[in-house]
Amino acid sequence: MTDKNQTIEGELIESDEEGATTTPNLPAQTLPSTIYILPLTEKPFFPAQTLPLIMNEGPWAETVKKIGDAGHHLVGLVLVHGDVSDDARPDDFYGTGTLVRMHHPMRSDGKIQFIAEGITRFRVAEWMSGKPPYYARVDYPSETRLGGNGEEIKAYALAIINAIKELLPLNPLYSEELKFLLNRFSPNEPSLLADLAASLTTAPKEKLQEVMEALNLRKRMQKVLLLVKKELEVAKLQSRIQEKVEEKMTEQQREFFLREQLRAIQKELGIAKDDRTADLDLYHGRIKKLKLPQHAAKKIGEEMDKLSGLEHGSPEYTVTRNYLDWLTNLPWGKFTKDKLELVRARKILDQDHDGLDDVKERIIEFLAVGALKGEVAGSILLLV
């Protein structure tokens, strides 16, 4: 079993019609009393569904092979309590699942893929194996309508359909699935309608499992209607949030374009300058007030020429502007007389800094040398 994209030994089933989605109505006497079980982790699989499934090959390849060898190509899908299915034990499974027909099982990159076609609910009566491949004796409970007459059930079905119609324009993510549901099911098929409507919600898996285990149709439809209504409220809230975000973005864009238009008009009238021109004029004004040495004037001139050729808003423009801002703010040509009074310096150090005696001694030594020479000469102290 090493070839990729290889059909599991013993092609499990050939559909009579490619892509068929109708759920088969099997007579009760043809339903197997013992079946192999595969785990689900995200949400339960409902009888109304037909979906592709993927699971790890390692623990479940033998189960899939045995399903093919059984001849009826039927398997039970049951939700597990945890988030990992590969090490699931019988105690991890919920008690109610769905009998499905397996179509086109394929192996690819360590995964098993197949199409699951839901048939009917079942309950696990007895586990006949304690490790994979899991095998169990099951029974197929009958659906009841206790607590509600036909008109009430139909009313619930119509309420679910109306909620779905409201949800359709609000949630494009599920538009195709919702259209399919509305086209396929009517109020005269309330059980399948409720199951598929529940499967399309984003409800927690525990809530969906409650729907799976609800055999009383009236109670099941109550649960499903509540889930669909919650989904509708979330979709409405999401739509309102999206509208507010788009409105804010539109307002910001409008303000930006208006400011750009105003800036362009002011520039044409000669009453405003663009940002780059304004920056250059600012630095030229500062330079006129400075007494720059020749080497500093040359460097600042080079940076000014560089700035004039850069696009405003580019990263390099920002770096160059910050550099010029620093250069033109330095006190060029301004000097102060050095105050090398050692006693006064020590007093200031002791007042402003507690401890650090070694550092203070080094600073006093530096000032003492400067006092002897008569100047400090721009030295920089590095204290390690």
Annotate 10-68 with DSSP letters as a single string. S-----SSTT--PPP---GGGS-SEEEEEEESSSPPPTT-EEEEEEEHHHHHHHHHHHH
Phi, psi torsion values for 111, nearest 5 degrees: -120, 155
Nearest to 221 by CA among 118, 162, 167, 152: 152
Beta carbons of 223 and 211 less than 8 angstroms apart: yes
The first and second tokens of residue 72, run together, are 């009826």
Residues 323 and 341 in one domain: no
Ranges under pLDDT 50 in the chain: 1-24
Rg (CA), the chain: 39
244 is a domain residue: no
d(CA 303, CA 317): 10
- What is the domain extent for residue 115? 6-139
CATH number, domain containing residue 216: 1.20.58
Note the pLDDT of residue 175.
Answer: 64
Residues 74 and 367: their CA atoms lie apart, in Å, by 94
Residue ranges in the chain assigned as alpha helix (H): 57-70, 150-167, 175-184, 190-199, 205-213, 217-269, 275-288, 294-308, 315-329, 342-352, 357-373
Asked whether the CA dihedral 167, 116, 82, 96 is positive or negative, the reply is positive
The structure tokens 């044409």 sit at 268
For 334, residues 6+ apart whose C-beta sits below 8 A from its C-beta are 291
- DSSP secondary structure letter of residue 172: G
Look at residues 239, 255, 286 and tell me which one is the last residue of a structural domain: 239
The last residue of a domain, from among 117, 139, 161: 139
Indicate if 37 and 154 belong to the same structural domain: no
Q: Domain for residue 256, yes or no?
A: no
Q: What is the pTM of this model?
A: 0.57
Segment 250-273, tens digit of pLDDT: 888 888 888 778 777 766 766 656
Residue 187 lies in a domain: yes
Q: Tell me which residue has tokens 């009826």.
A: 72
Contacts of 338 (CB under 8 A, 6+ apart): 370, 375, 376
Instruction: Examine the domain organization and report whether 209 and 290 are in the same domain.
Output: no
Position 154 scores a pLDDT of 85
Distance separating alpha carbons of residues 122 and 347, to the nearest angstrom: 91
185 with 67, same domain?
no
Number of structural domains found in the chain? 4
Assign residue 119 the CATH number of its domain: 2.30.130.40
- Helix (H) / strand (E) element for 187: namely none
Q: Note whether 138 and 125 are within 8 A (CB).
A: yes
Asked if residue 290 and residue 356 are part of one domain, the reply reads no
Residue 24 has, within 13 A of its CA and on its CB side, a CA count of 16
Q: What is the pLDDT of residue 157?
A: 87
CB 180, CB 19: distance < 8 Å: no
